[in-house]
Amino acid sequence: MSGERSYIASSASRISSVEIRENRNFIFTVILDILVYTSLFWRDYGISGQLLVAHYISFVAISDITGLFLPADKRHWFNLFRFIGSLSLLLLVVALASKGLDNGMPAVTLISIVLLGLRLLHSGLLLKRYGPLLKHLRHYPEYAMKYFRNANRSNQIALGYLVIVGAMIFFPQITYWTHYNAGENRLDDILTGFQAQSGIHFALKLLVFETLILNPAKKCIARTLVATFFIIQWPFMLPMFYLAPLPFVHAVVELFEVYLAILAFKYWRESGTRAVTE
């Protein structure tokens, strides 16, 4: 009997230590990411083109927010996209600096590079320890197909992200043309490349997270935040959208996000009141 009690106490202790370690990793992740994005958005917006750069950085930042709503047992999926996003942002910052487009603040650029390097290393370590591992990646397509096959209308509409993924990866020049570069043509090649990468660290990330966030309340909040953070950029960046080679076409993304949020709210109400902490 004493041996059984000892085993139970030992098991509880191990579980408790794992939870503490995971909570510490989560807190460190949030703090580090706040510092990273603070440095990335700390720009001289009086310099031509810097508003456009910040807009592209916001793709990663906004989609990262949805990771906060992943269930605890699915949170490791954020590690993969955090790693990819960190690498993409690091290459963006270095490329901008190499062309003298680092917003006139080299010290801030250096801080961003250091923080992004730390974020890349940290997410790589978490990826190695918690996954998603190859077995998770192999099983995901089957899981996703089953999810959408049995999904309600609100969740099925999220398949629209596949269109965005395809447009960004295969036609990055066209999607880049939905923005005005403010006359700073040196940004074109860098941001067109980043636009293609956004197909993974923005659109594909949101699609995957859509299939993992099952709680209607959390999904509604996550979708609403994404839609809100895109819409509030318009008053500050209106010329960037209506002076673009393809004027106002960017609004298609915002309308899609708003539609997703509305559907999520309707489904949340229809499914009954569920606690956000479920």
pLDDT band at residue 105 under the 50/70/90 scheme: confident
Which pLDDT belongs to residue 15?
A: 37
Statement: residue 14 has pLDDT above 60: no
Written as one string, the DSSP assignment of 8-39 is HHHHHHHHHHHHHHHHHHHHHHHHHHHHHHHH
Taking residues 246-262, report their average pLDDT: 95
Q: Mind listing the pLDDT tens digit for each residue in 34-49?
A: 999 999 999 999 899 9
> Measuring CA to CA, how many Å separate 168 from each of 42, 65, 71, 192?
26, 21, 28, 9
Which pLDDT belongs to residue 21?
A: 57
Taking residues 71-83, report their average pLDDT: 93
Written as one string, the DSSP assignment of the chain is -HHHHHHHHHHHHHHHHHHHHHHHHHHHHHHHHHHHHHHHH---TTSTTHHHHHHHHHHHHHHHHGGGGS-GGGTTHHHHHHHHHHHHHHHHHHHHHHTT-STT-HHHHHHHHHHHHHHHHHHHHHHHHH---HHHHHHHHHHHHHHHHS--HHHHGGGHHHHHHHHHHH-HHHHHTTS--TT-GGGHHHHHHHHHHHIIIIIIHHHHHHHH---HHHHHHHHHHHHHHHHTTHHHHHHHHHSSSSTTTTHHHHHHHHHHHHHHHHHHHHT----TT-
pLDDT band at residue 11 under the 50/70/90 scheme: very low
Q: Mind listing the pLDDT tens digit for each residue in 139-168?
A: 999 999 999 999 999 999 999 999 999 999
Q: How many CA atoms lie within 13 A of 25 on its CB side?
A: 19
Which pLDDT belongs to residue 22?
A: 67
pLDDT band at residue 133 under the 50/70/90 scheme: confident
Which pLDDT belongs to residue 8?
A: 36
* 0.85 surpassed by pTM: yes
Which pLDDT belongs to residue 172?
A: 96
